[in-house]
Structure 1
């Protein structure tokens, strides 16, 4: 017969298999079996937070650079305190696992005023997460944990919450239920016909614009090749850093600058890669984007979500942009005069922002000086 371990121990062992280095959280009576197992095994660093919002925010940051952030919160008010940070992680499409407690299974949804209980906790977790699960059977705990991690890491990524009643956390299950990690759902290579059709449009443009969103975070090499070929690039807030600000083709993230807007108006093709084209980046969708407009998004439901597109290509941004970059070798858009105009537009936008910020611009300069080159 297999060795018996607690669900909390099984969760700690499973997270180790996913190479989780740190868990950020607030320890509570309703998550002690998990916190104890993490501490006793000593393979994952537990980082205590002053509040649940802070723990999820730290896990969000960790997930953005590591591929999976993990937060542990308590039941009821504890889980509720995490909601704002979960919404931010969902907005940024961060791969994040949020583990939270629940009252004993016998008292779930009974509205008895059990300590830390809140009504419809799962409902507000569903509203603030990509997905939310409740573990109702100890023997299925690790299976649901695998599913949650897979969903968090499958594009479009996002936070996935899992609530686990305290008695289930402490329940014993066979060690054999701690199974190997599962991989994110694989994304197939873009169809050759899709690549050829997009290239046929792109190569006819005199000055195309590439608008990058968070869905293009893994596309730095391809984006640089396209920018090197003369495609002008502008980034959403979440795509900052995909192309260095110093690149001659970069308009950075100056969407709402008149100088940048004037330059965008002179482009004759817009390729939107993995972006929602959000309100704050488009002046509530009044910013004119050049036509024709083509969108790349892995989510079919994103088609023409905020701007009417001439075509939506349902594909992984990284795969399609890499295929496009391979075809773009040897093709050049723009010229030295256009590069100078891009630089001038960015300088005017930055100066305008400095004037708007006033003395606070000095704070930005101090932070920039302290950060590494890619900070």
Structure 2
């Protein structure tokens, strides 16, 4: 029975989000999406008004990474889309589910070059380069289904961003009936579940059981497989190394967890010499390997939702398609844990040395010690389930391997796309998703200024969020690389920064400046106990 109503297309956007049980959306109102905002007036959806669409996108990213649901954004056509492209690129690179809904010019002037306000040539072509899909809704009856499809596509298979744009006349079109929801038509289980992989799973189990020198590489796609991976690691005594996205899949305090240390020669040698390598939820991309050239000479067993990953960077000998948790469970069911493993593991040989870290970072030991001391204090202050959100900044590069994560999704870092300006808004998004968790942002003074306007969101919502700014007066990492190319000559990397104390005061935040780890310990512990944000400057020079 169709229900008679008095609504317009924009109302269906909000109804679709409510049906999907979306709780929070991030966006900015503009003249072209006001119809949707009018509908939000009568909705229980929480809307977070970013100060720039890039901030909205990064908030949605942090929200999704820590909430296991897509982050949802609402932006205008034209500049709204171009501003959110960078966060979409980051989400695409790091497999973060996101839905971006934008308005569009009326259908009567689409793609005609009329010079209309916010006109953008081939907007869906633009967004397709950073999204799993970009779809234009051309009929009011397709609004609800298009948003539902986008939401589910963002989570299905390898997660990522999906864009839906809706022309103004479609948003304003009167609706005489509500289309039926198509949510029940979606596959609610692993799409590869019915694929018969029994023989390959049996072979994988036998290889792991009989291996003398096995290794596991765990990526972000294994984040739901903590118990299964821990069982494999402990029962077969297999060392596990994580990618940056996989940090915390099993606690980095575990004796057999090598952390995100794949970049070090000692770890790469161990992987090269392994007779069997199990890669779970990772495409083994150059960013996963931090620019190093990994060699796998043993048998490679790869578990992934995306079958393209089985040949993209390394050729898998045994490829298992589907949900990592389910497939690992099936492998474990075929193992005989009563039988002694052939593994010739020597615990004392695991791990990497400080000398390797110094060599890889290309910095002197004094600078490294300063960084490590600060990271140790942050780790001690942030509770086990707390979240550290980092930018592309010098201490974060060290933190990749040296900041231990104890559980999945507690160390956020924009590794795949490598954008600056991520930490502050992504930390805010993580806090919106987890209001009762401690969240800390760690950013450099250069990256901070990409998105520092999002301090306004924190001012508006007033929750505890320490913002640690590693102040080395510019783009410190690029400066270091320039000096390696031409010693004592640099260009465009030394900045005159604003007065951070005055900036904090203007947003009604507290402020502290520290020069050593003992000062940071006191300040950070106090900041986590405060009901509103605090800016903490670390004078890194």
Structure 1-normalised TM-score? 0.91
Query: 1:75 maps to what in 2?
Result: 77
Query: 1:305 maps to what in 2?
Result: 312
Q: Deviations over 1:299-343 (max 9, x none)?
A: 22222211233232223222111222334444565889622322x
Report the Cα offset of residue 170 of structure 1: 2.0
Distance in 1 between residues matched to 2:19 and 2:353, nearest whole Å: 45
Query: 1:201 maps to what in 2?
Result: 207
Q: Secondary structure at the match of 2:240?
A: strand
Q: Deviations over 1:268-313 (max 9, x none)?
A: 2111112111113336462222411122222222222112332322
Query: 2:326 maps to what in 1?
Result: 319
Distance in 1 between residues matched to 2:358 and 2:340, nearest whole Å: 30
Task: Indicate which of 366, 371, 374 corresponds to 2:382.
Answer: 371
Distance in 2 between residues matched to 1:290 and 1:284, nearest whole Å: 19
Q: Deviations over 1:241-263 (max 9, x none)?
A: 21111111111111111232233
Distance in 1 between residues matched to 2:102 and 2:309, nearest whole Å: 30
Contact 1:234-1:253 at 8 Å conserved across structures = yes
Query: 2:220 maps to what in 1?
Result: 214
Distance in 2 between residues matched to 1:81 and 1:334, nearest whole Å: 54
Contact 1:154-1:185 at 8 Å conserved across structures = no
Report the Cα offset of residue 184 of structure 1: 5.0
Matched, 1:289 2:291: no
Q: Deviations over 1:61-83 (max 9, x none)?
A: 21222322101111111101111
Q: Deviations over 1:116-135 (max 9, x none)?
A: 11111111111110111000
For residues 1-40 of structure 1, what are the structure 2 equivalents within 5 Å?
A: 2-40=4-42
Query: 2:90 maps to what in 1?
Result: 88
Aligned CA-pair RMSD: 2.4
Of the structure 1 ranges 6-15 and 133-142, higher mean CA displacement relative to structure 2 is found in 6-15
Query: 1:103 maps to what in 2?
Result: 105
Matched, 1:171 2:182: no
Distance in 1 between residues matched to 2:234 and 2:378, nearest whole Å: 29
Distance in 2 between residues matched to 1:61 and 1:266, nearest whole Å: 37
Matched, 1:137 2:139: yes
Distance in 2 between residues matched to 1:125 and 1:308, nearest whole Å: 30
Of the structure 1 ranges 217-226 and 183-192, higher mean CA displacement relative to structure 2 is found in 183-192
Query: 1:249 maps to what in 2?
Result: 256
Distance 1:174 1:341, change over 3 A: farther
Query: 2:242 maps to what in 1?
Result: 235
Contact 2:128-2:134 at 8 Å conserved across structures = yes
Query: 1:57 maps to what in 2?
Result: 58
Query: 1:186 maps to what in 2?
Result: 189
Contact 1:95-1:158 at 8 Å conserved across structures = yes
Distance in 1 between residues matched to 2:303 and 2:343, nearest whole Å: 26
For residues 354-365 of structure 1, what are the structure 2 equivalents within 5 Å?
A: 355=365, 357=368, 359-365=370-376
Query: 2:265 maps to what in 1?
Result: 258
Structure 2 residue ranges without an equivalent (≥5): 386-409, 411-541
Q: Secondary structure at the match of 2:95?
A: coil
Distance in 2 between residues matched to 1:246 and 1:209, nearest whole Å: 18
Of the structure 1 ranges 285-294 and 53-62, higher mean CA displacement relative to structure 2 is found in 285-294
Report the Cα offset of residue 178 of structure 1: 5.3
Of the structure 1 ranges 179-188 and 55-64, higher mean CA displacement relative to structure 2 is found in 179-188
Contact 2:212-2:344 at 8 Å conserved across structures = no
Distance in 2 between residues matched to 1:227 and 1:69, nearest whole Å: 33
Q: Secondary structure at the match of 2:256?
A: coil
Task: Indicate which of 263, 266, 274 corresponds to 2:281.
Answer: 274
Count matched residues: 373
Report the Cα offset of residue 206 of structure 1: 1.3
Contact 1:14-1:181 at 8 Å conserved across structures = no
Q: Deviations over 1:105-124 (max 9, x none)?
A: 11111111110111111111
Structure 1 residue ranges without an equivalent (≥5): none
Q: Secondary structure at the match of 1:3?
A: strand
